[in-house]
Amino acid sequence: MNNIFDSAITEFFLLHKEYLVKVLDQMPLVKAGHHGENQVFRLYYDDHHSYKEITSSSNLWDSTQMMYLQRAKIGEMLAITNKIISSFSVKNRLGSCSIINTSNAYDSNFFDSLKDSSCSVENKTKYYYNGRNYRSRSEMLIAIVLDELGLEYKYDVKLMLNGEMITTDFVIIFREFNRCVLLEYFGRSDDPKKNHSNTLKIETYHNSEIYIGRDLFILSGNLYYTPGADVIRLTLMSIIAEITCYHLEYSD
């Protein structure tokens, strides 16, 4: 990998770490415990020493449980991010930088409004991972690699574009930049029927000002080749580097 690629990847994960730490610091501290045989949550006050015990009979139970699960998810993403950072050969930033704010309809609010679903495949499918069904092994591998990178995404998302409902395979959010990108797996690139439907889909994206290489990224294979985890990881890393370079401005 070249220095620009390595530096952009490092910069992103350092920013990602800062974002996750900030979110955790701003969230109420919640811990799970037991009172006798009953599960409870301990909702800590600002001093992080005294707390209020929340039982299942409390009207705060659901919201406290949600906060606990959110903290656990962010904590897991932070642990993954720290592990990734520790593996980099380039660990330092090139210099001070600022994030370029751009106006984008596909931002964090857009992402949060999307429904994260499982595709319409029976539960007995062999492409079942982490509570979801996937249409293909490749799409399942994409989800696995996204999780390995600690990225937040939604799968099998329905979008209304220019009055037409289409399904997007993956929507990935980069909250550091308040920016979403779409990732499609188009299967076999040498299948005429697939190519026709995929071309129509790309046209729909284009007419909605969703452009390849900026908002939309595509993976595909052919009769003799299906992208494996290493290729998917490199593709996702390239997307991360490109988005990071687009949104950062270095000062002298």
Count of domains observed in the chain: 2
- Note the pLDDT tens digit of each residue in 174-190: 999 999 999 999 988 88
Instruction: Look at residues 34, 64, 94 and tell me which one is the last residue of a structural domain.
Output: 94
Looking at residue 224, what is its pLDDT? 85
Split at pLDDT 50, 70, 90, the class of 119 is low
| Strand ordering across the sheet containing 30-35 | 30-35, 38-44, 51-54
Split at pLDDT 50, 70, 90, the class of 1 is very low
Looking at residue 235, what is its pLDDT? 95
Instruction: Look at residues 43, 60, 94 and tell me which one is the last residue of a structural domain.
Output: 94
| 115 and 81 housed in the same domain | no
| 47 and 85 housed in the same domain | yes
**What is the domain extent for residue 168?**
99-250
| 90 and 133 housed in the same domain | no
| 78 and 115 housed in the same domain | no
pLDDT over 90 at 205, yes or no:
yes
CATH number for 214: 3.40.1350
Looking at residue 70, what is its pLDDT? 94
Instruction: Look at residues 55, 75, 94 and tell me which one is the last residue of a structural domain.
Output: 94
Mean pLDDT for the stretch of residues 51-77: 93
| 64 and 129 housed in the same domain | no
| Strand ordering across the sheet containing 216-221 | 152-161, 164-174, 179-188, 216-221
| 106 and 231 housed in the same domain | yes
| 163 and 49 housed in the same domain | no
- Note the pLDDT tens digit of each residue in 193-203: 888 888 999 99
Mean pLDDT for the stretch of residues 27-33: 92
| 119 and 32 housed in the same domain | no
| 161 and 179 housed in the same domain | yes
Split at pLDDT 50, 70, 90, the class of 93 is low
pLDDT over 80 at 22, yes or no:
yes
The CA distances from residue 76 to 79, 81, 123, 160, in Å, are: 5, 9, 26, 32
| 31 and 18 housed in the same domain | yes
Mean of per-residue pLDDT scores for the chain: 88
